[in-house]
């Protein structure tokens, strides 16, 4: 198989964007990524990394082949949609109608993730519910969930969790398979990021977990800590970062929505079909893949990853505190990530191929 260059992937991204906009007439960024980055576009090639699709989109905008139309939704938020440019004769109305429809669907989806006066945060709560039920199902494999009835953990060791409450936490009790004697327990802090965008090393979400986990490990170094991040999708560079620092990532490949009497399932189906969110899933039940991972992979990897975290990862709490700040723009975050990357290189033979680059900024809502 021929290995494609970065330029090849950008060219494929350009072609896919143009083809998609010709078909859909208008599409927001999250739809472009859902249809081109989450899966193969019309089975023509493998999914394209979001940061490469961003390069392709910026090139098309700069060349005037694609234009951006920003308008305010009923909920008061600005939503940008993209369409082909220049607008061909007879296409203006089709583009306008398609853009209005996509903005309505985006506003609906965002209402589930942000919550309103009449509707809770169904996406955030949905991810946390699935993880909590999966942990409870895994109890037979040595997990003692700290808050079996609600999940969220605000205190550990009779003290507030440093950096704020965790989405979940458990003690992992291990056993030597040969002697059947109990092994060391691991404290497992868990954060759930049930978001649509693919997580990169520069995104803030990972560092919220790492900041809290470092605080717990530094305050009680006698007990090994094994941080776990659960998200919809993580870029391979984020997984390399996890290996270097000593934490685990599980990708659900689903975005969960908590069942609710106020949630109209036909609205969910419209968002799923018309925005390409094929993985949008209404459930609060355990994920069998996550249960298998917790009962197998985590047990096997716990000694290696917890050792790396206790020996190295936990000592960079200041960097994690800075990087968890959602307000920092991409370029403001890069120096902190460079410092973390340099620390890995100074202590180990390699730093996993996740060196930050300003060219690698993926598009976000």
**pLDDT tens-digit profile of 48-57?**
999 999 999 9
Same fold, 6-91 and 122-353: no
Confidence at residue 360, expressed as pLDDT on a 0 to 100 scale: 62
Looking at residue 239, what is its pLDDT?
96
CA 241 to CA 245: how far, in whole Å?
Answer: 6
pLDDT at 327: 94
Cα–chain center distance at 273: 21
Kindly tell me the sign of the dihedral angle through the C-alpha atoms of 351, 356, 361, 365.
positive
Q: What residue spans define the domains of the chain? A: 6-91, 122-353
Please give the pLDDT value at position 365: 47
Mean pLDDT in the chain?
A: 93
Q: For the segment 68-125, what is each residue's pLDDT rounded down to a tens digit?
A: 999 877 666 788 999 999 998 889 999 999 999 999 999 999 989 887 777 779 999 9
Closest CA to 205 of 218, 188, 192: 192
Question: 6-91 belongs to which CATH class?
Answer: mainly alpha
Look up the pTM and report it.
Answer: 0.94
d(CA 71, CA 362): 22
pLDDT at position 150: 87
CATH topology for 122-353 is Trna Endonuclease; Chain: A, domain 1 (3.40.1350)
Task: Give the tens place of pLDDT for each residue, 210-225.
Answer: 999 999 999 999 999 9
Give dist(CA 345, CA 333) in Å, integer. Answer: 19
């Amino acid at each position: 198989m021929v290995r494609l260059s970065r330029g090849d992937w950008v060219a494929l991204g350009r072609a896919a964007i143009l083809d998609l906009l010709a078909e859909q007439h208008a599409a927001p960024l999250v739809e472009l990524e859902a249809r081109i980055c989450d899966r193969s576009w019309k089975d023509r090639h493998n999914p394209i990394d979001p940061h490469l699709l961003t390069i392709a989109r910026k090139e098309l905008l700069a060349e005037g082949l694609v234009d951006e139309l920003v308008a305010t939704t009923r909920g008061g938020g600005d939503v940008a949609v993209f369409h082909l440019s220049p607008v061909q004769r007879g296409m203006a109305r089709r583009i306008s109608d398609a853009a209005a429809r996509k903005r309505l669907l985006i506003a609906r989806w965002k209402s589930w993730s942000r919550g309103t006066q009449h509707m809770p945060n169904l996406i955030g709560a949905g991810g946390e519910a699935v993880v909590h039920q999966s942990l409870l199902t895994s109890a037979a494999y040595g997990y003692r969930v700290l808050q079996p009835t609600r999940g969220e953990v605000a205190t550990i060791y009779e003290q507030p969790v440093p950096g704020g409450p965790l989405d979940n936490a458990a003690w992992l009790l291990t056993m030597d398979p040969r002697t059947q004697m109990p092994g060391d327990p691991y404290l497992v802090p868990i954060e759930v990021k049930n978001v649509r965008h693919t997580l990169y090393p520069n995104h803030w979400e990972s560092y919220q977990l790492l900041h809290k986990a470092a605080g717990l490990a530094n305050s009680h170094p006698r007990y090994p800590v094994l941080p776990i991040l659960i998200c919809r999708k993580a870029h391979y560079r984020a997984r390399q970062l996890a290996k270097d620092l000593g934490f685990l990532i599980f990708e659900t490949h689903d975005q969960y929505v908590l069942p609710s009497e106020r949630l109209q399932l036909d609205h969910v189906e419209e968002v799923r079909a018309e925005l390409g969110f094929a993985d949008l899933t209404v459930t609060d039940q355990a994920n069998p893949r996550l249960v298998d991972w917790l009962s197998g992979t985590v047990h096997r990897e716990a000694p290696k990853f917890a050792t790396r975290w206790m020996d190295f990862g936990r000592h960079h709490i200041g960097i994690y505190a800075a990087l968890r700040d959602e307000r920092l723009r991409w370029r403001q975050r890069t120096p902190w990530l460079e410092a973390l990357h340099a620390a890995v290189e100074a202590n180990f033979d390699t730093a996993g191929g996740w060196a930050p680059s300003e060219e690698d900024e993926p598009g976000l809502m």
